Every structure is written in structure tokens, then in C-alpha cells.
Amino acid sequence: MFVEVSSYDEFVKLKEKESGLLAYFSTDVCNVCKVLKPKVEELIQTEFPKIKLTYIKSDKLPELAAQNSVFAAPTIVVYFDGREYIRKSRAIGIGELKQEIERIYNMIF
């Protein structure tokens, strides 16, 4: 289940605390985001349960998006042990995302 991030400090703490973190950057007006989000949520919950899901509204927290070099919606950034490993923007395929996460996830967990 996605946890909505409400501040930059909260996001930094989550990155430090969680071994695996997926950040889903989106906006309220992004229709692709609305279709993709439940698919990403299902993928992570069924295949990668040790990854924490976070949701960031880029239009509500533009400084957080900018600090993470996010300028398009949707953007997915996957962190392991606080370091960025995967970044996907706009046209995101679930199968491709699964393969990329799986490779690193299996090494770490």
C-alpha cells in the first residue's frame, strides 16, 4: 500500500530507514499515472513485499521532485539501502520494471 509523503524530511527519513523503497512521483492531472499506480502497487505487493511504496505528488511538493531530478510524470525511482538503483519515466512497462527490480532485489534480500 502506498504511503503519501508529505515533506522532504519525511522522504529523507524513509530512504534512510527502509532497505527497499519505491518512490512514485505523480501529479493530480496525470491520467497515465492513475492507470499505472495500481499495477505498480500490485507488482510490488505480490513480487517484492520487502519494498516500501511511497507516493509523492510532484505538483504539491515541487521542491522534493526537483531535489530528486524528477521533471516528468509518472516517474518511478527505486532505492535500496538509500541509494538510487532504478529510474523510469513516462512510458513505464510493468514487465521491464519487474525484471530490473528482481535482479537487485534478489541480491539484497
pTM: 0.95
Domain 3-108: give its CATH code. 3.40.30.10
Identify the three-state secondary structure at position 87.
strand
Half-sphere exposure of 39 (CA within 13 A, CB side): 14
Give the torsion sign (CA, 53, 11, 15, 99). positive
pLDDT digit of tens for each residue in the chain (109 aa)?
999 999 999 999 999 999 999 999 999 999 999 999 999 999 999 999 999 999 999 999 999 999 999 999 999 999 999 999 999 998 899 999 999 999 999 999 9
Q: Which residue type occupies 65? A: A
